[in-house]
Amino acid sequence: MIEETVRQALRRLTAMSFLQNVLPFLAQKKPPPPPPLGSLRIASPGDILRLGVVATAGFFYSEQFMFERPFHKNFPQDTIIFFRHEVENFVKSSEHIVLVCTDKYAPDESSKTEAIIPLDNGWEPPRAGEEVIVGLGVWKLNPGSKRVGDFQNDTAPYPDLPRYEGSDLDEERAKRIEVVAGAADHKYFDGLSTMERIVVHPAYWKRSHGSTIARWGVALASIDGIDQGVLATTMGASLFTHVGYQHISETQVEGDERSPEGFSLAILRYRVA
Ligand SMILES: CC(C)(COP(=O)(O)OP(=O)(O)OC[C@H]1O[C@@H](n2cnc3c(N)ncnc32)[C@H](O)[C@@H]1OP(=O)(O)O)[C@@H](O)C(=O)NCCC(=O)NCCS
């Protein structure tokens, strides 16, 4: 009788110790290492001023930019400030991964984009041939990802950015894009990780920077066993197909009197299995 009671107590203790010690460990188990960064690196606050320039120079060529920033040429500094704020939010966010790539600085780079990059934009260029950031990739981790916070790199102080005045923007069109993109995201990418931004400065296009960034993202998706989604304009869609994404559908942003055709966004998905 006493023996049975002792045995039961031991069984209870073993079960309790499993619950207390093993389950929390299983729940917190670290994910496998991410893909090697290679020539890429995690963005830091010190990169934000430059990334505003890179994003303005490159995104100028996306249909979304053309549609929502019709006043860019009159207010170019505003566009740069917008992208600096956007990148700052991504860098601060523990749910996002922000990677950059570099190349040798070409002092005539601004002549290779039709975007306007004022000389006094607040970013100090390096000497010719020195390494400079030329591209950016941003991903949002899937909900519940154990990698949240693993890609923070707050090694430098954040820049003191002026307020974004929005003078380059058609606010009504920007809202329309947000609604269409939000609906597509909800319908097609629920539970997935998403590729949020990819851009390379045009002076450094066609040197495989874009593919290197996009390939890192799909390598992460494969390690995590989680499909990845992206909403892409024309240049992005071509690049993403190139690295293995599949075209799922299209969604249309309606135009208006000044631009009746609007534009379409491709919905693509990288399948891990
Ligand atoms: C889309 C974008 C990021 C691509 O950047 P990139 O650094 O030029 O990309 P890559 O060099 O890796 O590849 C681009 C193309 O050049 C080709 N290419 C790569 N290296 C090359 C080389 N050495 N010589 C010639 N062509 C080359 C690639 O095969 C690819 O062609 P494909 O798309 O027809 O298959 C860039 O064009 C961009 O910033 N566009 C504007 C912003 C934008 O639209 N972003 C996407 C939003 S969804």
**Radius of gyration of the chain from its Cα atoms, rounded to whole angstroms:** 23
Ligand 1 pocket test: which of 208, 251, 268 has the largest number of ligand atoms within 8 Å of its C-beta? 208
1 lies in a domain?
Answer: no
Ligand 1 site-directed mutation target among 239, 247, 253, 267, most atoms within 8 Å of CB: 239
State the average pLDDT over residues 103-131: 98
Please indicate whether residue 71, judged by its CB atom, sits closer than 6 Å to ligand 1: no
8 A C-beta contact, residue 252 and residue 177: no
What CATH number has the domain bearing residue 38?
Answer: 3.40.630
| Straight-line distance from the first to the last Cα atom of the chain, in angstroms, rounded to the nearest whole number | 56
Q: Residue 237 falls within a domain, yes or no?
A: no
Question: Cα(52) to centroid of ligand 1, in Å?
Answer: 20
CA-to-CA dists, residue 239 to 156, 192, 199, angstroms = 32, 20, 11
Is 265 among the domain residues?
no
Ligand 1 centroid to 211 CA: how many Å? 7
79, part of any domain: yes
- Is pLDDT above 70 for 95? yes
Task: Answer whether 190's CB lies under 8 Å from 229's CB.
Answer: no
Q: Of all protein residues, whose CA lies closest to atom 27 belonging to ligand 1?
A: 206
In a domain, 131, yes or no: yes
Would 213 be classed as within a structural domain?
A: yes
From 56, 112, 177, 200, the mutation candidate for ligand 1 (largest count of ligand atoms within 8 A of CB) is 200
Distance CA 251, CA 167 (A): 27
Asked if the structure places residue 244 within a domain, the reply is: no
* Domain count within the chain: 1
Average pLDDT, the chain: 93
Establish whether residue 229 lines the binding site of ligand 1, counting it when its CB lies within 6 angstroms of any ligand atom: no
* Strands 193-200 and 131-140, bridge-based pairing: antiparallel
Whether residue 168 contacts residue 56, with contact meaning beta carbons closer than 8 Å, is answered with no
Q: How far apart (Å, rounded) are the C-alpha atoms in residues 202 and 221?
A: 27
- The per-residue pLDDT for 25 is 47
- Cβ(224)–Cβ(142) below 8 Å: yes
Q: Which atom of ligand 1 is nearest to the CA of 211?
A: 12
- On whether residue 110 sits in a domain, the answer given is yes
Task: Compute the average pLDDT of residues 215-220.
Answer: 98
156 has a pLDDT exceeding 60: yes
What pLDDT digit, counting tens, does each position of 13-22 carry? 555 554 555 4
For residue 46, give its domain range: 34-170+194-225
The candidate with the shortest Cα–Cα distance to 231, out of 201, 251, 211, is 251
Return the axis-axis angle of helices 76-92 and 48-59, rounded to nearest 10°.
120
